[in-house]
Amino acid sequence: MLRNFDDLTRNEGRWLNLWGAFDVTGEYLGTFTLDELREKAQVKAKWVSAVQYLGAGQRIDEAALAQDWNGLPSGTCILDFTGFRVSPVRDMGGSIEVCDPGEHAFWSVYGFHREAEEWQIVHDALSDDIGESLARIVDLTGELVEYCDLSCAYANTRLPDLVDLLSQRILDEIPEQSADAARDDDADNHPLTYLREQILAAIEKRRG
């Protein structure tokens, strides 16, 4: 298990910090940089199997132990990626493709693989799992999360920024309140609202 010890610092588009590592019995294994953890993750998958960012001195939430990145191929870990992207996707009879929100069956998280230099699938998530999944990825890697559908994309965003951008898009796409077609629940029924709420809930959970 890993735990954060020091304050985060901004460097080259990534939040960097030192991690204190513990095995499953709670034994302290040492403090490491993100790059050092990535090296260890190449040969010891347990080093990245359950990580959650918490304040110094706090222990990992037990829920983190159950995290399973269901899209990662064998031999690949979450630390192999230098950025992430979430997209609404649909199943076209065996072929999964990115679509517009409202047409989606679930959400897919892609990572940009540092060696292959291409986007690869990391995790497929249902609506009630997507916010926590994205937050845990950021907890571990410190990387930014992009959003992309067929109509719009937001690049180089922190999760709080993405919440704000989704809020603005929702407001832009619903009728003005003074319009005849406006309804009180237009914002609630927008297909991006649940994604926004799930991300926001995960952020607020970490703020305590």
What are the tens digits of pLDDT across the range 150-208?
Answer: 999 998 888 999 999 998 988 888 766 655 565 666 678 888 999 999 999 999 988 86
The percentage of the chain sitting over the pLDDT mark of 90, rounded to a whole number, equals 33
Sequence-separated (6 or more) residues with CB below 8 Å from residue 122: 69, 71, 72, 78, 81, 84, 109, 110, 111, 137
Tokens of 78: 């979450």
The DSSP bridge pattern shows strands 81-91 and 145-148 to be parallel
Q: For the chain, list residues with pLDDT below 70.
A: 1-34, 37-38, 40-67, 175-186, 208
Residues 172 and 174: their CA atoms lie apart, in Å, by: 6
Q: What is the pLDDT of residue 39?
A: 72
DSSP 176: P
How much is the pLDDT for 153?
A: 92
pLDDT at position 189, please? 80
Q: What is the pLDDT of residue 56?
A: 34
Q: Parse the chain into domains and list their residue ranges.
A: 1-67, 69-208
Backbone phi, psi, residue 138, to 5°: -65, -40
DSSP category for residue 154? E
